[in-house]
C-alpha cells in the first residue's frame, strides 16, 4: 500500500534566477515519510527544494514549481491509497516568466501574480476510495479556516498548525476529522507528531498495512 506525501516549498520563477517561495524546511513531510515507511507502507515523496535528504526506501520525486508538483502527484495518484499534503505550496506565480535574468530599469517594478493550481484539491476531486489529509497553516480564525479547507479540498482529515511550525523541530497541532471533530491535540517533535499521525491514519482511514493496493 502506497502513501503519497508532498513536502517542502514550491518556487515560482520571475526569471531564470529569481523566484517567490514559502518558508518551509520540509521537516514535517520528511518525518511523515519516515514514519510511513517504518509502519510498512510504500512511500512516494514529492518534494520541493529542501536541505534534508530523502529517507532511504522511498520513491523520491524532486520538483520545483507548483505545476511540477501537480503533474508528479497526478502521475502516481491512481496507485496510491492516499495523500498527505505537507507541502508549503506557493499560491501565486508571476504571470510572465522572463527568460534569462531581468535587468534593472532604475524604476519600480510591478509584478502581476496569478494563482497556482491547488494540488490537494485536484487530488481530492479525483479520489476514489483514497484518503486525503491536508495541513492548514493558519494565523487567524484558525479553526474556521481549517474547516473551510477540509471541505473545499475534500479532505478526510486536516492538521491545523500555526506559523510557529515553520523551520521548527517541534510543532503543536490539532487533528480534525472529516466531521469537523477534534481527533487529537498533540505537541512534541515533528517526528513524534508524524508517528502519531501515521498511526491515526492507519487506524481510521485505511485497514492494516497490506500490499493489496
Ligand atoms: N495546498 C496544495 N496546493 C496549493 C495550496 C495548498 O496542495 N496550491 C495544500 C497544502 O499542501 C496543505 C493544504 O493544501 O495541505 C492547505 O494549504 P495552506 O497553505 O494552509 O492553504 P491554502 O489552500 O493555500 O489557502 P490560504 O493560503 O488562503 O490559507
> Where does the chain have alpha helices with state H?
27-38, 66-76, 119-126, 142-152, 190-204
Let me know the angle formed at the C-alpha of 105 by 101 and 108, rounded to the nearest 5 degrees. 105
Question: Which of 7, 48, 18, 35 has the alpha carbon at shortest distance from 192?
Answer: 35
Catalytic residue IDs: 22
pLDDT interval class at 166 (50, 70, 90): confident
| Contact between 42 and 59 (Cβ < 8 Å) | yes
pLDDT per residue as tens digits for the range 45-95: 999 999 999 999 999 999 999 999 999 999 999 999 999 999 999 999 999
- Domains and their CATH numbers in the chain: 2-94+114-206 (3.40.50.10300)
- Residue to probe by mutation, ligand 1, list 32, 148, 149, 176, most atoms within 8 Å of CB: 149
Percent of the chain past pLDDT 70, that is, above it, reads 97
- Give the whole-angstrom CA distance, residue 63 versus residue 24: 14
Ligand 1 centroid–CA 108 distance in Å is 30
pTM given for the model: 0.95
Instruction: Tell me which residue has its CA closest to atom 24 in ligand 1.
Output: 91
pLDDT per residue as tens digits for the range 140-155: 999 999 999 999 999 9
What pLDDT is recorded for position 207?
61
What pLDDT is recorded for position 168?
83
Question: Which of 12, 6, 18, 7 has the alpha carbon at shortest distance from 115?
Answer: 12
Amino acid at each position: 500500500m502506497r502513501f503519497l506525501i508532498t513536502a517542502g516549498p514550491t518556487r515560482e520563477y520571475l526569471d531564470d534566477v529569481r523566484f517567490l517561495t514559502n518558508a518551509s524546511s520540509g521537516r514535517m513531510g520528511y518525518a511523515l515519510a519516515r514514519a510511513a515507511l517504518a509502519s510498512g507502507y510504500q512511500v512516494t515523496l514529492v518534494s520541493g527544494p529542501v536541505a534534508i535528504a530523502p529517507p532511504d526506501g522511498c520513491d523520491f520525486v524532486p520538483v520545483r514549481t507548483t505545476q511540477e508538483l501537480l503533474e508528479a502527484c497526478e502521475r502516481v495518484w491512481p496507485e496510491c491509497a492516499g495523500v498527505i499534503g505537507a507541502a508549503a505550496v506557493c499560491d501565486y506565480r508571476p504571470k510572465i516568466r522572463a527568460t534569462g535574468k531581468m535587468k534593472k530599469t532604475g524604476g519600480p517594478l510591478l509584478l502581476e501574480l496569478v494563482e497556482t493550481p491547488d494540488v490537494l484539491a485536484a487530488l481530492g476531486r479525483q479520489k476514489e476510495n483514497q484518503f486525503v489529509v491536508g495541513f492548514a497553516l493558519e494565523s487567524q480564525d484558525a479553526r474556521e479556516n481549517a474547516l473551510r479547507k477540509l471541505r473545499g479540498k475534500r479532505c478526510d482529515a486536516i492538521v491545523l498548525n500555526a506559523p510557529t511550525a515553520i523551520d521548527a523541530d517541534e510543532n503543536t497541532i490539532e487533528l480534525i476529522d472529516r466531521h469537523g471533530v477534534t481527533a487529537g491535540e498533540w505537541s512534541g517533535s515533528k517526528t513524534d507528531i508524524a508517528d502519531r499521525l501515521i498511526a491515526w491514519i492507519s487506524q481510521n482511514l485505511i485497514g492494516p498495512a497490506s500490499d493489496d493496493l
